[in-house]
Structures are given as structure tokens and as C-alpha cells.
Structure 1
Amino acid sequence: MTETQPPLTAHRFAMCFSSTPRGARLARRLCGTRLDAWGVPYGSDAHDTVTAVAAELCANAVRHGHVPGRDFHVLLTADPATGTVRIEVSDTLTERQPRLPAATAPDGEGGRGLLLTEALADRWGWSPRAGGGPGKTVWAECTAPCPD
């Protein structure tokens, strides 16, 4: 008797990036490329939403979670069965925990990344970095239907 396994339905992309603005841009672009390859095409609302959230989380890891000599890690997963894309960005700075700003001056720069993430994502949050290492993981989930 031959056993067959059900097909793998979840997509997964993981990579470490240098904790620099250039690393954040590369992470955003590679997330966009993966989404397109998984059937969430460039220019679609779902693609634009997920890449905007990825850009914000990666930029925050560089700006607020940077530790010299340490990279940040991105994990992007998509589950066609639920139509959910999840992005996780881990940095190595434990002391600065993500929070929404109480108020942002209309003419001030910065401070809007998590507000944008909250507006675009269906859910978001953070947790201590898995595996016992220093730092935290900020995650967001977005609805993004993708075919099998």
C-alpha cells in the first residue's frame, strides 16, 4: 500500500537582513516578489497592503530595534486555505517594545508606522523573540487570497 501525503498548502519565506535602510528596502522587495510568486499579483490591493505593512515593520526594526552588528529577521507565510498572509519581523532589541503613539503631531515626521499597520492589517501584535534570543517579534496578519 502506498501512502500519499496531502499537498503542502502554506507558503513560507524567511531571511535575515542587515539592520540598515537598504536591508529594509530589500526585505520589502523580496516580500513583494514572494507574494507575486504565490499568486498575490503586483498591483492588487492585497499585494499593496501586505507590502506596505512589511515595509513599516522592517523600517521599525531598523529604526527602533537596531543593535549594531545584528541583523533583523523576516518570516512571511501565506495560507491559501484561510486566505491569510502573516509577516513577522524580529529584531534584537528587547528594551523598546512596540506601542501605538498616543498622538502624532500632524507636521511631525515619524511615529505613524504602527498606526498604518493597525489601519491596514486585520491583526497585529508582538511577542518576545522565539528561541530564547534577545529581542522581540512584531507580527501582522492580512487577508490576501492566494491560489494553491
Structure 2
Amino acid sequence: MPIPAHPRTTSDQFTHRFSSTRRGARLARLLVLQQLDEWGFPYRSEPSDLITAIVAELAANAVTHGRVPGRDFEVQLTRTVTALRVEVTDTRTEDRPPIDGTPVTPPPDSETGRGLLLVAGLAARWGVAERRGPGKTVWAEIDLTCGRT
């Protein structure tokens, strides 16, 4: 599917905070889906499904592993002419994903632990960044200029 033309500006941004609950993670996915549609990535299109899957995994990780009671997590999308960057920030500093961008493969009989492997497989690039204050930001980028989104 062709990538929609990028009108108006060189960068568009969407930022929203959500409660660190399963309901918050679901709402994050739904609002990102709506924002993508507004940016020209129609519902159920390949780019929309790809980006939404990444957001769903990172938001689920934020509420499962990054949850601090009483603190929200934040989702930010930044769209430029060449890429779309997803950032999910939580306030927990422990249980940090590997900074070198290599997710740990869980044992074969494990029922969890494959989310970052999925993100690594879907995104062109991903990583973990420090943030001002407690916590971390896990980010992923999707190229918009090549044949694959």
C-alpha cells in the first residue's frame, strides 16, 4: 500500500497520557488507530496495523512491567516525511529492556516475554532511552520511504 502524501508540515505529533492499566493500554491503541486514520493511514491498512501492533506491545509492556501505582504512561507518535516514531514512556526504572536493542529470547515453554521480539521484527529500529525524571522510554521507528512501512 502506498504511503499517504505528507501535507502541511515536516513533522506531526500526537502525545497522550494513559492510566497504567489494561484499560489504559487498550485506549492507547484505539486513540493511536484514530490518529493514524487522521494522518491518512486508513483503518485496517498495512501501515495502520503495523504501527498499532507496535503501540499495543509497548503499551502492554508499560502497564505490565513499567507500572508504578498512581503514575501514568505516555504514548507519543512523531511523523516526519521519512519515518514514524512511536515512544512509550513509563516511570519505572527497574526491569529495563536491553539497551543494545537485542531482546532476550524467553525459554520455549514460557507464555510471556516475546513482545519486544515482535517489536524488533516489525520496526526498522527500536531502543530504550533515558528520560528526565524516573523511568524510561521504549521507542520504535517505522520507515515511510521504502517499500515496507
- TM-score normalised by structure 1 residue count: 0.85
Q: What is the Cα deviation at residue 105 of structure 1? A: 3.2
Structure 2: gaps of 5 or more residues? 1-7
Letter in structure 2 aligned against 1:24: A
Larger Rg: 1
**Corresponding position of 1:143:** 143
The 2-side partners of 1:38 and 1:9 are apart by 13
Query: In the alignment, what sits opposite 2:71?
Result: 70
Match of 2:130 among 121, 128, 131: 128
Counterpart among 104, 109, 121 of residue 119 in structure 1: 121
Q: What's the counterpart of residue 3 of structure 1?
A: none
Q: 1:110 aligns with which of 105, 109, 112?
A: 112
Cα offsets for 1:51-105 (capped at 9, x unmatched): 00000000000111000100001111111x21x111100000112211312x323
Alpha-carbon distance, 1:124 to partner: 0.2
Q: TM-score, normalised by structure 2?
A: 0.85
Q: Given the alignment of the two structures, is residue 85 of structure 1 paired with residue 87 of structure 2, yes or no?
A: no
- 1:111 shift after superposition: 0.3
Partner of 1:42: 43
Q: Any runs of at least 4 consecutive aligned residues in structure 1 with deviations exceeding 6 A, and if so which?
A: none
Partners in 1 of 2:96 and 2:66 — Cα distance? Answer: 9
Name the count of aligned residue pairs: 134
Measure how far apart 1:9 and its partner are.
2.8
Query: CA–CA distance in 1 between the matches of 2:78 and 2:42?
Result: 15
Q: Share of identical aligned residues, percent?
A: 56
> Is 1:46–1:143's contact at 8 Å kept on the other side of the alignment?
no
SS at match of 1:87: strand
Query: For residue 97 of structure 1, what is the aligned residue in structure 2?
Result: 96
Unaligned residue ranges in structure 1 (runs of 5+): 1-6
